[in-house]
Amino acid sequence: MTDLVTFGETMLRLSPPQQERLETADQYDVHIAGAESNVAVAAQRLGLDTAWLSKLPNSPVGRRVTGELRRHGVTVEVSWDDSDDGRQGTYYLEQGDVPRGNDVIYDRAGASITTLATGEVPEGLVEDADALHTSGITPALSDRVETTTADLLERANDAGTTTCFDLNYRSKLWSHAEARSVVTELFPDIDVLVVAQRDAEQVLGRTGDALDVAASLTADHGFDVTVVTRGADGVVAATADDEYVQGSFEASDAHPVGSGDSFVGGFLSQYLTTGSVPEGLEWGAATAALKRSVPGDIAVVSPSEVRELIEGETAAISR
């Protein structure tokens, strides 16, 4: 049985080596990148049996995505798009340095996943899993996928599958108002909400102390747990009965992209198996920290590395 199914788009990420610029570099590094597949990879590497659900063009570039995910052990549940119009979503990432920030150019409009209908999802995939995870990016991709997202969350909920949702607001995909309208429609089918404090404020209108935000979201929507992330300030969480605070681990600034998804993957790897929120938060924070030292979007980490970081073992070379 699958422990965790994640659902969303995975793009090709094209980025100049080192600090080179998109305008002038002669080579681009190629990675794959998708919020939900990032979660799947992190969770799989940390012990869960995960699957990733999506739609891709049937091409070498589409197969690159699935190959890279399978490499990390994730089961791939892809609806292959053989149409002439289906395309592979891509994004350009330029990694900056002080004072030049990272620059992102999305080129994801019309990607194959925007046509994914509920009927293309295998029967039982979601129902037979322990948990289903998706993010606010997915329903923002197209009206069709918004419907599919709602359908799958409902099917999961009906089947007793734990549902996890990372709000993950993307200003280049929709407005705050659109996001609020759609995601609050989904809330009744959601068990675990992860939301950045800024998104809680701007999309959901929840201001104030992070713990209060978490507690009120849990209370208002009946979530099992709400996790509010605060970047370098760590994360907090609230269930109906308890509140939790987890600091962040010291980490490099070199490869921040994907660390939020790595948090979710680390969190779920424990929360789904032990039911413990604080253990989940600790594993999430450690996984996110380790990710920041790894090039690409994906947390190429191992359970022992997470465990050693939590246990505070030194980084001295063992030889």
In this structure, is the dihedral angle defined by the CA atoms of residues 105, 249, 309 and 40, taken in order, positive or negative?
Answer: negative
Residue (112 or 148) nearer to a copy of itself, CB: 112
191 catalytic? Reply is: no
In the block, which residue shows the tokens 């570039």? 61
In terms of Cβ atoms closer than 10 Å to its own Cβ (0-12, 13-18, 19+), residue 23 is exposed
Residue (73 or 275) nearer to a copy of itself, CB: 73
Upstream peptide bond of 16 is cis (omega within 30 degrees of 0) = no
Residue (11 or 213) nearer to a copy of itself, CB: 11
In terms of Cβ atoms closer than 10 Å to its own Cβ (0-12, 13-18, 19+), residue 275 is exposed
Report the Cα–Cα distance between both ends of the chain, in Å, rounded. Answer: 40
- Side-chain-side CA neighbours of residue 56 (13 Å): 25
Q: What is the nearest approach in angstroms of a copy of itself to the Cβ of residue 218?
A: 27
Catalytic residue among 189, 191, 261, 297: 261
Q: What is the nearest approach in angstroms of a copy of itself to the Cβ of residue 1?
A: 17
Q: What is the nearest approach in angstroms of a copy of itself to the Cβ of residue 299?
A: 11
The residues, any chain, with a CB within 8 Å of residue 147's CB and separated by 6 or more, are 117, 118
Residue (170 or 221) nearer to a copy of itself, CB: 170
Q: What is the nearest approach in angstroms of a copy of itself to the Cβ of residue 52?
A: 14
What are the catalytic residues?
261
